A and B are shown apart, each in its own frame.
Chain A
Amino acid sequence: MAAPNAQLPPGWVAQWDATHQRHLFIETASGRSQWEHPLQTNSPPLDLLSQSPPPDNASAHHATHTKRRQYAAGQTQAYYGTTEAAGFADAAYGAGAGAAPAQQPGQLFTPGLAAESQFASQQGQPPAAQGGYFQGAEPDYPAPAAYAQPPYVGQQPQAAPQIGQLADQFGQMGINPAAGYSQKPFALYTTNLLTAAPDPRELSRPPPEIRLPPNACISNSPFANCDPSYQRSTLNAIPANNSILSKSKLPFALVITPYRSIQEGDDAVPLVTDTVIARCRRCRSYINPYCQFIDGGNRWKCVLCNYSNETPQLFDWDQTRNVAADRWARAELNHAVVEYVAPTEYMVRPPQPPYYTFLIDVSQAAVQSGMVATATRTILESLDRIPNADDRTKVAIIGFDTALYFFSIAPGAAESTMLVVSDVDDVFLPKPTDLLVNLTEARAGLENLLSRLGEMFQNTHTVGSALGPALQAAFKMISAIGGKIIVLSSSLPSIGTGALKVREDPKVLGTSKESALLQPASNFYKTFAIDCSRSQVSVDMFLFSSGYTDVATLSCLPHYTSGSTFFYPAFNASRSEDAIKFAHEFSEILASPIMLEAVIRVRATKGLRMSGFHGNFFVRSTDLLAMPAVPLDQSYAIEIAIDDPINSSFAVLQTAVLHSTSSGERRIRVLTLALPVTSNISEVFASADQIAIATFLANKAVERSLSSKLEDARDAITNKLTEILGTYKSTMTAAGAGASAQLAVCENLKMLPVLCLGLLKHIGIRQSSQIPSDLRAYAQTLLTTLPSQMLIPYIYPAFYSLHNMPPEAGTIGERGIIMPPSLPPTSERLERHGLFVIEDGQTIFLWVGRDAVPQLVMDVFNLPSYEQLRGGKMTLPLLDNPFSQRVNAIISKIREMRRGPYWPHLYVVKEDGEPPLRLWALSNLIQDRADQLPSYQQYINTVKEKINIGGYT
């Protein structure tokens, strides 16, 4: 390689790099550089590709590019529906991305054979029918050919699945996922929505691949880019300038879940303990696997702003052992999600201990519903699980009805004294000390108090609630330090500040005035929330009520203080299901670690700006989110604006969370997501992430319904979808702007229309004059806080058929209980003799067909016949037969397979049972037509017509 310049293609120069002792090849036109010789590598850089014709003629392109798609084998199987149950279940419900590709050993090295055998299995026999309950019933899965619509196995108009699988086998062979760049162009796979029915398994596929340019990442670690469960972008390729983005009509936003729970099988977040934190001096971003070392490693170049920073001297030094260390082993250069132990510069005060103040409603309604007894028992049982690593945790309990009841416990004492404050106009603390007590020191007294609290108010007849004054008292108690106020309220606040009125008027429901009911009624809850946020106090609301409790107003407190709202309508602890649900969720919240005194800031490559924020926090400055206590598994959506064209070949979005752990350590959690930049609109489409888009649209819809009307929110969803599909048609398909008999969209956005429809039909958004505003407001709080994994089933419920599920479903496979294959949520799939599950993550419906054979009813419910069965909330008996055990296993798997504290109720729904329950269950089958709401086919036809008219531009 004496004169590499001589052999270079035009437009390239070679430059000797002294640091790496090799030639760097630079394309002069674009300024892009690479280590490989441009003729030796068959990988044109992304910029070159953008000049190749866009795949308008998708079918022609298809033949050449089909091999280039890569999905892990397990994922592909899940998608294409082989009934290799283990693979399917794993891929669909496995703990998280990153773990999936590790499956299916032994198939990798004979791609042709493997593909063939998979193809065979796909065509092949359905699994042996379970069908012991009725003779001759063919399992309708996985060969649903009996329907008018084409079956969804292999229904892509152009892509034959076996080719895709073949490609996967190749894909697994050689390409290092860490490199991320598969050196192939992004091909766009167009599909026709009118003929391709939505397939729920699409939703368990990973987001479109992130194809970074080669050498973007300095590490070979497979963890160098952020896992989608922590942070995902609606676009996995960022448009180079705003005009491309606005032309595509796709929303650009980030969905982050910075404090995601670590479940079994998840990797813990690596911790950098030596307090050597390399940050850019100019933009304050943290060093990450995408920064380049220059000047022999003495300096590093910030990937966000290109500033050249000094590398900290201790970067190559192991301080604990006092020996030289390898910087390439440092976690921050290998992991996209990393946590630093922060030195004292990051503290305005020593990390606070966790303080918990419980505000327990002890009015008649609360006591009689059994809430007080259940709550105190749950706290009592959870005392050991409350984060208390260094015995600094403090707890206070305040009861309230029309007066406030404080409990004072001297350290070490086993008895508590009750102090009553009945002047709620001017709240004061009756005692300066011993109200907020150390959990360890006052353990005996607390246990005693909690076990007696229910009895103390057993015979109360007080009606009314002084919630506002109680909040003020709790605030006085902990505002010097901060912490959590956990409110358990059973009635509408009626006395003192923050008193609310029953403002719901059934006549207003379903009209344009309805959104006023979803806005806070009193200013107190907003101003109080701001005070709380300032003093690092977070409020959780557990609301129980038999009547109107104004969730819209009360959920304001959790909204602006980063808490959570839980709502238990018509709670009655004498029904064991209610008690179990509340106790489970409450104890999960108590036991979960929290990030205290947190601030979140998202930084991005120059040109990008965070322009809108959705979720539970207080926006303290243009881009700083204040969160007194970050709960586990809460999600936030952040809109991004492209202010200036981006000149680099990839961009980085970095979220930093400065927080104190519940164990008293100041830490910084950094999430780094690197995405390629493209000036090709087809790449933008091909890399759009429908799940992130749906999550973002849910947030936008709620915002719109509050600032304007519910109707506007619904229109905005459909308009956005129409715009996206219309732009796709006019720019990406041969039809152009003219009318078309098809409704084209790329494969990776295939589920977007049905997710939009799910959102339109969601209880928080849908057109109806029957939905109480409390239920709406609660649904809206969930829509804005649930992480994508919970949110997607919440708007697009999962649907399983149990009576004919494959024999392995419900048994324990390699990775837990195997779930039956999920069906599209439409009542076409309901059978009169069948047993079905419909679930949205918050509620599970067990649907029993009216012709269910007695044997099935006997096996599942232990009842002689269908007639004896009663619908409603129930606990399924665990019987001594394999089918009952499998059904129970599936129900319990549904309850635990997603991240979050929720414990869904189980309702048994009889096909000819009470209409309200039946209609509620059926309203979850969102692809059906219901009242004025369209079916999926009607909906996409409407969208198609709108596009053909051209009204979307």
Chain B
Amino acid sequence: MGPEGWLFLFSVLLAAGLLFTMVFFIIMFSDLECDYINPIDLCNKLNQFVLPENGAHAFLTLLFLFSGQWTAFLINAPLLAYNANKIRSKNHMYDATEIFRTLGAHKKEGFIKLGFYLITFFYYLYRMIVALIAESD
């Protein structure tokens, strides 16, 4: 398997990981709505994952940039910019005092990210297969 195959295999695994993180976020939000968890615990729990999630995504995007995968990079660049902007304006963390007021927005963001990771997952998978076929030819 060539470098491109490896790169997309790695991307597929990472995208799967991010996908599960988002599923976890959304489950936690609905737990909050059903009063299975209190907002303080929820925020403490989720805030541990925010930076790793953003970091993993940033790492992947930069990997595409440095390996010259322009399409893959351009697909991921907007989300990278969005995350970076949130961190810069210091509202990337979940705030227990405001969580109920902002829950709708958080859920929406979670679903959009989930969809995004799902689409990119299949895209990476496709690219990996294409790369493998190209190699075997």
Contacts and interface: CB of A to CB of B under 8 A. Distances in A.
Interface of A: 526, 529-530, 534, 560, 612-613, 618-622, 624, 703, 707
Nearest to A624: B35
Nearest to B43: A530
A530 B33 contact: no
Nearest to A706: B98
Given A619-B39, A621-B38, A530 B100 contact: no
A703 B97 CA distance: 13
Interface residues of B, number: 12
Given A526-B95, A619-B100, A621-B39, 11 more contacts: A526-B97, A530-B96, A530-B97, A618-B97, A619-B99, A620-B38, A622-B33, A622-B35, A622-B100, A703-B101, A707-B101
Contacts of A526: 95, 97
Contacts of A534: 40
A707 B91 CA distance: 12
A620 B39 contact: yes
Q: Most A CB atoms within 10 A — which of B40, B97, B100?
A: B97
Interface in B30-51: 32-33, 35, 38-40
Contacts of A618: 96-97
A560 B40 CA distance: 13
A553 to B, nearest CB: 13
Given A530-B40, A534-B40, A560 B97 contact: yes
A732 to B, nearest CB: 33
Contacts of B35: 621-622, 624
Q: Most B CB atoms within 10 A — which of A534, A612, A622, A624?
A: A622
A9 to B, nearest CB: 48
B137 to A, nearest CB: 56
Contact of A613 (B33, B39, B100): B100
Contacts of B32: 621-622
Q: Most B CB atoms within 10 A — which of A530, A534, A612, A703?
A: A530
B88 to A, nearest CB: 14
Contacts of A707: 101
Contacts of A622: 32-33, 35, 100
Contacts of B40: 530, 534
B95 A612 contact: no
Contacts of B95: 526
Contact of B97 (A529, A621, A624): A529
Contacts of A560: 97
A340 B32 CA distance: 30
Contacts of B38: 620-621
Contacts of A620: 38-39
B98 to A, nearest CB: 9
A703 B98 CA distance: 11
B39 to A, nearest CB: 7
Q: Shortest 9 CB-CB distances between A and B: which pairs?
A: A621-B35, A619-B100, A560-B97, A530-B96, A526-B97, A530-B40, A620-B38, A622-B33, A622-B35
A82 to B, nearest CB: 48
Contacts of A529: 97
A622 to B, nearest CB: 6
Contacts of A624: 35
22 contacts: A526-B95, A529-B97, A530-B40, A530-B97, A534-B40, A560-B97, A612-B101, A613-B100, A618-B96, A618-B97, A619-B97, A619-B99, A619-B100, A620-B39, A621-B32, A621-B35, A622-B32, A622-B35, A622-B100, A624-B35, A703-B101, A707-B101
Contacts of B39: 619-621
Nearest to B90: A523
Contacts of B101: 612, 703, 707
A530 to B, nearest CB: 6
A402 to B, nearest CB: 28
Interface string B85-112: 0000000000111011100000000000
A706 B56 CA distance: 32
A541 B12 CA distance: 53
A622 B97 CA distance: 12
A529 B39 CA distance: 14
Contacts of B99: 619
A156 to B, nearest CB: 41
Contacts of A612: 101
A624 B35 CA distance: 10
B85 to A, nearest CB: 16
Nearest to B95: A526
Q: Most B CB atoms within 10 A — which of A526, A621, A624, A707?
A: A621
A618 B35 CA distance: 15
Interface string B14-44: 0000000000000000001101001110000
B102 to A, nearest CB: 9
Nearest to B36: A621
A404 B97 CA distance: 29
Interface in B94-135: 95-97, 99-101
Contacts of A703: 101
A534 B39 CA distance: 11
Interface in B52-104: 95-97, 99-101
Contacts of A530: 40, 96-97
A622 B96 CA distance: 12
